[in-house]
Amino acid sequence: MFDRLQKPFLTVETGEAYQPIRLAYTLHQPEKLIQTLESLRCMKKNPTPNSWSWYWADECGDLRFESVNSYHRNPEFPLRLATITLRDGKIFVNLTSFKRACLAVPFFHRLLDKEVLTIKAADFINKVFSLDERLPHGFAELFKEEELDRILHQRLEEFHQVQERVEAAPSVDDALSLLSKYTQSETKKRLPYAERYSFEIREEDDLDVVFLAFYIYLRGRELVAIKRWFCQVGYASSESTEYTLAQVFGEMGIDLID
């Protein structure tokens, strides 16, 4: 335990924990997408076909990171934030931290409307890595489609079962008791190594709320991973969510995405 406390986890250049995450989009208009990407100065075409790099410069130069005191930006050598790949009728945005993903989702939504592409999911890792740990070789090694779908559908099925029981409860107290037991059970569960966050955006949804909910969810997962790295094995996702909500909505320590 002492060795772990003395050993920092791996971080990216802008200070966040290194946690690979992949955004998946359904692509409706490939020509429009390619035309837009190739018109942006913050994008650079890669040698690999149908692949681009997204840099922290020009159109996205005002994106804000909280932990950048030790990082000095060089306009001549901008930091690469993500790689973007078009494959099998889908677009994948591969990033190395949750914060970058939370900034990427609204950025690309404003850039390309739903007629061009639609965000479907974010696949991510529920751990942080040591400085000398073997890192995954490519995102395909990390994310197994069948396993991610299985975990997501199992979680949704359990939620719907509880929802039905709550709606059929004979009293409000019974309903609250069922919800409390479900919440306590969920927070004690061991998080899977890889997990999927599914987007279901409707016409009437407030997009600012959708993006904020995504941030709160991922920030909570990041905190759990960091706390457990420092041997706080009992730290629950409910604690991380409460802490994040206090950050976002509290009078002090506000950490909103602009």
What is the separation of C-alpha 197 from the centre of its chain, rounded to a whole number of angstroms? 8
Residue 257 counted as domain residue: no
CA distance 238 to 235: 9
Residue 126 counted as domain residue: yes
Residue 132 counted as domain residue: yes
Residue 254 counted as domain residue: no
Using one digit for the tens of pLDDT, what is the confidence trace for 194-214? 888 988 877 788 888 888 889
pLDDT of residue 59 exceeding 90: yes
pLDDT mean across residues, the chain? 80
What is the separation of C-alpha 63 from the centre of its chain, rounded to a whole number of angstroms? 16
Residue 242 counted as domain residue: yes
Residue 101 counted as domain residue: yes
Q: Is the pTM of this model over 0.85?
A: no
CA distance 86 to 45: 12
Beta-bridge partners for 82: 54, 95
> For 51-74, what is the mean pLDDT?
82
- Give the structural domain span for 77: 2-249
- Into how many domains does the chain fold? 1
Residue 96 counted as domain residue: yes
Residue 40 counted as domain residue: yes
3-state helix, strand, coil in the chain (%, to 5): 45, 20, 40
Using one digit for the tens of pLDDT, what is the confidence trace for 115-170? 899 999 999 988 898 888 777 666 666 677 776 667 666 766 766 677 777 778 78
